Chains A and B, each alone.
Chain A
Amino acid sequence: MGAFQSVPNEHDFQELADKTGFSLEQIRNLHKRFKQLSHNEDTLRREDFNTISDLSCNPIRAQIIEAFFDKRNFHQDAEGSVQEIGFEEFLTVMSHFRPPELNMTEERREAVRREKLRFLFNMHDTDNDGTITLEEYRHVVEELLSRSGTIEKETAKAIADAAMLEVASITMGHMEPDEFYEGITFDHFLKILNGVEIESKMHIRFLNVDTTTMSCHK
């Protein structure tokens, strides 16, 4: 929460490394990037993200940026969003994208999976009421399709509706006509994404060395 001093020392980095699981080199790299984005300030604002040119054509740009300011993603029991984040928060959000470790135990794997899915879930559940409602889901699909040119809103809606129906039928089984499916809860979210190996898919490669892209054998 607290702003980090401009010139962080190794000790702080070590602390962060313990907290987030990044290596010191990775933290150093990310810190460099943080400074670059924030124009050498201690905190990062939404506007700073808007300056990233590559991000501008990302269809879900708004959600991504919002995720960085969402308190739920800071490993604290807090809700709501903040206006600016320090390096620690930045790092915490980034830590959701760490690659899985080798030889995880089943429990650990499950925990990682839950944590990553929780992050995704929070991105969809914008009003933080514990469910992704139809409206929210429609919004997600609309955003996804938003960069594809001339897509009618209705198509997006139809897709979201179909997806929602699918969730309802997978999770609820039989429903009486007058029952109402509130929305996707986290449990249901876990259930529908059972087939996606999120724990091994949701990661990016954080560089250990301070170079530009290395060619990597994946």
Chain B
Amino acid sequence: MPSRTLPRVAAGLRSASERGLLALLMLMFLAGSVLPPGAASSPDLANRNSKAGHDHCQPSQELPEDRHNATKKAFPVLSFDYHHVQKPFEISLWVLLASLMKLGFHLIPRLSSIVPESCLLIVVGLLVGGLIKVVGEKPPVLDSDLFFLCLLPPIILDAGYFLPIRPFTENVGTILMFAVVGTLWNAFFVGGLLYGVCQIRGTDLGHVDLLACLLFGSIISAVDPVAVLAVFEEIHINELLHILVFGESLLNDAVTVVLYHLFEEYAGVGSVSMVDVCLGVISFLVVSIGGILVGTIYGILAAFTSRFTSHTRVIEPLFVFVYSYMAYLSAEVFHLSGIMALIACGAVMRPYVEANISHKSHTTIKYFLKMWSSVSETLIFIFLGVSTVAGEHRWNWTFVIVTVILCLVARVLGVVGLTYIINKFRIVKLTTKDQFIVAYGGLRGAIAFSLGYLLNEVQFPTRNMFLTAIITVIFFTVFVQGMTIRPLVDLLAVKKKQETKRSINEEIHTQFLDHLLTGIEDICGHYGHHHWKDKLNRFNKKYVKKCLIAGERSKEPQLIAFYHKMEMKQAIELVESGGGVKMPSAMPSTVSMQNIQPKKPVSDRVLPQISKGREEEIRKILRTNLQRTRQRLRSYNRHTLVADPYEDGWNELLLKRQKIIELEKKVGSFETPAASRSRWAEMTKMSNYLTVPAAAPDSPTMSRARLASDPQAYSSKPGSDNLPTIKVDLASPQSPDSVNLVDELSKRAGQGEEPDEDGGLVMKVPSSASGKDTKEDQNGAKDQQRLMRCLSDPGPSADEEEEDEPFLH
């Protein structure tokens, strides 16, 4: 082993206890002897978190003299050079520890439903920190650079990219009010009163001056997005409350940044003039608007870049990450609000990027964002725990207790007071319950800690006391409030999020309502929200989309995009249900087209066209999705990803599907999208697999693919029927390869319909096609049809929607 003169973290990690804890893992590593290099190289690939850990583990010191311990003796057959891999190795260990912990919590039944994950992680951090300390090493502290440059951005980008735009913009006034005025109020209330308390004789705090108190107040007053996300995601609160608290936590960054720099600046000087206050206000505007501007510019750049990536799909996701990170860093360069820049960047680029990139890239982006943010979050909480053990603490009972109480009081007063004002302007008023949850959800977190950690010990002799108080407040909010908020939500019967899929009807009526309200506003002659939103939409459609989105998709209206997405989903559902564990013997609903079709013959039914290329793409996706088994993880929050096994159940699946189809035939009903959807709903209930709310109308790219197959299962009896009442719509394009897959069936069915790929869509079979041939069509052609449809109906997999709006989970 190398000598002991190593950086503190390294030493801490190499300590015997640490190894004891992770002995098993290391054994695995060594046995395989693959992992160390693999782990070492992993951070270099792209993983910012690992880089983060990297920076962290060796904050600044580099000890070159320790590095050269090569020997000049006999050629070593087996050499030991831990130094060589030390840093990446330790980073990997930390990440691994974090991930394993996360994994472990959810293996323990019911634990994660009682205690929020963030609490458990902090406890783990405390334990690990304690262990490191017990063996006499110095545990690492959550380094501020590491935190702000590496751990925080993925979480914020994840939040910004998946920001539910609609509720956010609808409530932006309230959010800003809470974020700006609320944070200011909190900062000054806490800071001011704390100063008052410090002046009381006997508290032993007389040396704390006003500016330091205000600085402390501004650090402690900001609601933390990481903590809020971690807790709110698990309680499934309704959309309004979620966006209020979460939006506040994001937007208060600008206020915190300005206050922090302002007070830090003047703490040395000792006095603040009126001019400084004015400068502070201006600075706030610059910081926030500048941050948004920087983010928007990068967002547009990213969107524009993604327009040209159609030939290099592999690096598409990278642009999203790199542009966003650049936005964050660029904002930080000027001390603008990096968080706001990231949010703006993610929100601006998303609709355009999604229209441009391929389905796979979209999935990659989602997975990566989730993975990064998940690991970051885990590491942040663990490090919070470790840092608690590591840091030097100056525990002052008065100061700590007063801080905790003041924080609570300020929050409650702030929320109640602001709501009183806001409700005068709001149309949907905030009720008392809402206010309570907003107040109670004001969790503090690692941002406060990192800001406190950044303080200069020389300038602020009370830094350690501040840090102790900050940690106490964080622990109090995360543990007490975080753990009790779920029972309280249940107790108060606060409206929860509706976990329903958005139906096509709802989409139609939402859009209808939008236009209606815009129209009514126009008739009333005043220009309200709807009017401007409509103007913006039209501008977007007319100019922006043309510039930023390549090809046809720029013209696709939202409703159609939504529809295509639904179509695909249904197709996948159909396919997946076929491969599922359960044969749909009990089909809940069997409504088919002729149930709603007017009885007269309709002669102009034509199905949407699909291009050959698109179809191929679709088919590919379908194939991948088909091979997915139905073993899914229970989804518990946004970080849960669906398992993506590339398993070869293809043949088995196919057989099963055939059985199902035969079954269906016996039932004599047609699989319709509606039917499949409701069946799907049932299945999801069982498997607890779909826990996602409304799908975003702006759907991922792939879902826009025009699906050849109509969702309605029109069946046809080629060349066999004698009742030419309805004409047949061939449900799907039938391509040679799908036919191959099912060739027994197709043989049985006869060759009646084997159109070329493009022709399959608009298939009118005038005479052969037959009328309401639904009832007891035992003809094999039907099976074939249906099977064909199953096979060629592809789409984004069902997990699509699981991830689609993960963020409000």
Residues on A close to B: CB < 8 A?
29-30, 33, 36-37, 49, 52, 54-55, 57-61, 63-64, 68, 94, 97, 99-100, 102-103, 120, 123, 133-135, 140-141, 144-145, 148-152, 154-155, 157-159, 161-170, 172-175, 177-181, 192-193, 195-196, 198, 200-207, 212-213, 216-218
Asked if B512 contacts A120 (CB within 8 A), the reply is yes
Contacts of B675 in A (CB 8 A): 169
* A72–chain B nearest beta-carbon distance, Å: 16
Besides A158-B712, A195-B506, 4 other CB < 8 A contacts? Answer: A64-B516, A100-B428, A162-B712, A181-B596
Asked if A173 contacts B589 (CB within 8 A), the reply is yes
Contacts of B604 in A (CB 8 A): 154
Residue of B nearest to A210 (CB): B526
Q: Does B563 contact A (CB under 8 A)?
A: yes
Contacts of B99 in A (CB 8 A): none
Asked if A218 contacts B171 (CB within 8 A), the reply is yes
Contact partner, B531, options A54, A68, A163, Cβ 8 Å = A54
7 contacts between A and B (CB under 8 A): A100-B428, A145-B557, A165-B672, A169-B591, A196-B510, A213-B527, A217-B422
* B544–chain A nearest beta-carbon distance, Å: 16
* B498–chain A nearest beta-carbon distance, Å: 6
Assuming A100-B428, A166-B505, A169-B675, is B608 touching A213 (CB within 8 A)?
no
Contact partner, B559, options A103, A144, A200, Cβ 8 Å = A144
Contacts of B606 in A (CB 8 A): 152, 154
Contacts of B177 in A (CB 8 A): 217
The stretch among B29-37, B517-525, B642-650 that forms the contact with chain A is B517-525
Assuming A55-B519, A218-B174, is B504 touching A159 (CB within 8 A)?
yes
Asked if A165 contacts B498 (CB within 8 A), the reply is no
Contacts of B557 in A (CB 8 A): 145, 148, 151
Contact partner, B511, options A37, A144, A157, A172, Cβ 8 Å = A144
Q: Does B109 contact A (CB under 8 A)?
A: no
Q: State in angstroms the CA–CA spacing of A150 and B552 once bound together.
A: 11
Residue of B nearest to A36 (CB): B525
Q: State in angstroms the CA–CA spacing of A199 and B678 once bound together.
A: 26
Q: State in angstroms the CA–CA spacing of A161 and B772 once bound together.
A: 16
Residue of A nearest to B177 (CB): A217
Q: Does B84 contact A (CB under 8 A)?
A: no
Asked if B523 contacts A55 (CB within 8 A), the reply is yes
Asked if B526 contacts A213 (CB within 8 A), the reply is yes
Contact partner, B508, options A100, A140, A173, A180, Cβ 8 Å = A140
B754-786 interface code vs A (CB 8 A; 1 in, 0 out): 000000000000000000101100000000000
Asked if A200 contacts B428 (CB within 8 A), the reply is yes
Asked if A195 contacts B515 (CB within 8 A), the reply is no
- Leading 9 A-B pairs by shortest Cβ distance: A169-B674, A217-B173, A148-B557, A54-B522, A165-B674, A64-B519, A99-B427, A217-B425, A177-B774
Asked if A162 contacts B566 (CB within 8 A), the reply is yes
Q: State in angstroms the CA–CA spacing of A73 and B516 once bound together.
A: 15
Asked if B513 contacts A135 (CB within 8 A), the reply is no
Q: Does B398 contact A (CB under 8 A)?
A: no
Contacts of A180 in B (CB 8 A): 595-596, 599
Q: Does B502 contact A (CB under 8 A)?
A: yes
Asked if B523 contacts A52 (CB within 8 A), the reply is yes
* B777–chain A nearest beta-carbon distance, Å: 10
Asked if B608 contacts A173 (CB within 8 A), the reply is no
Asked if B523 contacts A158 (CB within 8 A), the reply is no
* A216–chain B nearest beta-carbon distance, Å: 5
Asked if A169 contacts B678 (CB within 8 A), the reply is yes
Q: State in angstroms the CA–CA spacing of A167 and B531 once bound together.
A: 31
Q: Determine chain B's interface SS by DSSP, over half rule.
A: helix
* A28–chain B nearest beta-carbon distance, Å: 13
Contacts of A168 in B (CB 8 A): 591, 595-596, 674
Contact partner, B527, options A36, A63, A151, A212, Cβ 8 Å = A212
Contact partner, A60, options B519, B598, B669, Cβ 8 Å = B519
Contact partner, A64, options B176, B509, B523, Cβ 8 Å = B523
Q: State in angstroms the CA–CA spacing of A216 and B591 once bound together.
A: 47
* B543–chain A nearest beta-carbon distance, Å: 14
Contacts of A175 in B (CB 8 A): 589-592, 595
Contacts of B534 in A (CB 8 A): 58
Contact partner, A218, options B502, B521, B529, Cβ 8 Å = B529
* B245–chain A nearest beta-carbon distance, Å: 17
Assuming A60-B519, A164-B596, A218-B171, is B504 touching A145 (CB within 8 A)?
no
* B239–chain A nearest beta-carbon distance, Å: 10
Asked if B515 contacts A60 (CB within 8 A), the reply is yes
Q: State in angstroms the CA–CA spacing of A177 and B774 once bound together.
A: 6
Contacts of B427 in A (CB 8 A): 99-100, 200, 203, 205, 218
Assuming A148-B557, A180-B599, A195-B502, is B426 touching A217 (CB within 8 A)?
yes
Assuming A60-B515, A158-B607, A217-B426, is B712 touching A166 (CB within 8 A)?
no
Residue of A nearest to B510 (CB): A196
Q: Does B593 contact A (CB under 8 A)?
A: yes
Q: Determine chain A's interface SS by DSSP, over half rule.
A: helix
Asked if B521 contacts A177 (CB within 8 A), the reply is no
Contacts of A63 in B (CB 8 A): 516
Residue of A nearest to B590 (CB): A174
- Best-buried of A49, A120, A159, A178 by chain B (most CB within 10 Å): A159
Contact partner, B506, options A155, A159, A193, A200, Cβ 8 Å = A193
Q: Does B594 contact A (CB under 8 A)?
A: yes
Asked if A177 contacts B608 (CB within 8 A), the reply is no
Contacts of B599 in A (CB 8 A): 180
Contacts of B678 in A (CB 8 A): 169-170
B60-95 interface code vs A (CB 8 A; 1 in, 0 out): 000000000000000000000000000000000000
Contact partner, B509, options A33, A37, A55, A196, Cβ 8 Å = A196
Contacts of A172 in B (CB 8 A): 589, 591, 595
Q: State in angstroms the CA–CA spacing of A133 and B599 once bound together.
A: 12
Asked if A152 contacts B674 (CB within 8 A), the reply is no
Contacts of A202 in B (CB 8 A): 513, 516-517
Q: Does B630 contact A (CB under 8 A)?
A: no
Asked if A204 contacts B520 (CB within 8 A), the reply is yes
Q: Does B170 contact A (CB under 8 A)?
A: yes
Asked if A141 contacts B524 (CB within 8 A), the reply is no
Q: Does B673 contact A (CB under 8 A)?
A: yes
Contacts of B522 in A (CB 8 A): 52, 54-55, 58
- Best-buried of B171, B508, B563 by chain A (most CB within 10 Å): B508
Asked if A177 contacts B669 (CB within 8 A), the reply is yes
* A106–chain B nearest beta-carbon distance, Å: 12
Contacts of A174 in B (CB 8 A): 588-591
Q: Does B431 contact A (CB under 8 A)?
A: yes
Contacts of B559 in A (CB 8 A): 141, 144-145, 159
Contact partner, B423, options A102, A120, A163, A198, Cβ 8 Å = A102
* B35–chain A nearest beta-carbon distance, Å: 48
* B428–chain A nearest beta-carbon distance, Å: 5
Q: State in angstroms the CA–CA spacing of A154 and B606 once bound together.
A: 6
Asked if A58 contacts B518 (CB within 8 A), the reply is yes
Assuming A99-B427, A166-B674, is B173 touching A216 (CB within 8 A)?
yes
Asked if A150 contacts B555 (CB within 8 A), the reply is yes
Q: Does B136 contact A (CB under 8 A)?
A: no
Assuming A150-B555, A170-B674, A195-B500, is B512 touching A140 (CB within 8 A)?
yes
Residue of B nearest to A191 (CB): B505
Residue of A nearest to B707 (CB): A158
Q: State in angstroms the CA–CA spacing of A195 and B238 once bound together.
A: 13
Assuming A144-B515, A145-B557, A148-B555, is B775 touching A178 (CB within 8 A)?
yes
Contacts of A155 in B (CB 8 A): 560, 563, 608
Q: State in angstroms the CA–CA spacing of A152 and B604 once bound together.
A: 12
Q: State in angstroms the CA–CA spacing of A120 and B233 once bound together.
A: 34
* A168–chain B nearest beta-carbon distance, Å: 4
Asked if B668 contacts A169 (CB within 8 A), the reply is no
Assuming A144-B508, A165-B593, is B529 touching A57 (CB within 8 A)?
no
Contact partner, B520, options A94, A149, A158, Cβ 8 Å = A94
Contacts of A193 in B (CB 8 A): 505-506, 509
Contacts of A152 in B (CB 8 A): 606, 608
